[in-house]
A = this chain, B = another copy of it.
Amino acid sequence: MAARYAPQAPELQVSQWFNASEPIALGDLRGKVVMLYAFQMLCPACVKVATPQAQEADRRFAGEDLAVIGLHTVFEHHAAQQPSVLAAYIHENRLRFPIGVDEPGGDKSSIPKTMRRYALEGTPSTVLIDRAGRIRLRELGAMPDLALGVALGRLLAEPTPDGDG
């Protein structure tokens, strides 16, 4: 059997937050399972499948044990997916979970910073981070609800680490 290593999740680099009274750091969520949902507001599979799924996960399970965090990782159509447009999208779709705008990659890259740090390959992408802050799943494309649920349930069943993880 292969040896398996779960890397520590890099901190988010976010230029602006929606649905959050103050900036969110992964470090502050230690002890919770984090579902990090990377999307673009103009990506059809995000709009039709993965965003409603993140919304359902938030509505059913977020709280003491689970945090659902959206990340707007714009790597195409930059001009059309500005934060002001995202704000209208969040409003119209009644999204309630915190959503951060991934910090633009600078002149050299169209890939925003957190997206690059996590080596995400596109949108939608789902990243599951365990209570100790380690990446346990990173998947491109809309996941079937049943498969996402099983992955979440497995992590939620793990005990909270005693110390600092």
Chain A residues engaging chain B, CB cutoff 8 angstroms: 42-44, 47-48, 53, 56-57, 60-61, 77, 79-81, 84-85, 87-89, 91-93, 144-158
| Closest-CB distance, A154 to chain B (whole angstroms) | 4
Given contacts A44-B92, A80-B88, 19 further A-B contacts (CB under 8 A): A42-B88, A42-B92, A47-B48, A48-B48, A79-B84, A79-B85, A80-B85, A80-B89, A85-B85, A146-B149, A149-B150, A149-B152, A149-B153, A151-B153, A153-B154, A154-B154, A154-B157, A155-B157, A157-B157
| Copies of this chain | 4
Most buried by B among A80, A81, A157: A80
Q: Are B153 and A53 in contact (CB under 8 A)?
A: no
| Closest-CB distance, A76 to chain B (whole angstroms) | 8
Which of B43, B144, B145, B156 is A154 in contact with, Cβ under 8 Å?
A: B156
| Closest-CB distance, A24 to chain B (whole angstroms) | 23
Q: Are A148 and B149 in contact (CB under 8 A)?
A: yes
What residue of chain B has the Cβ atom nearest to residue A158's Cβ?
B157
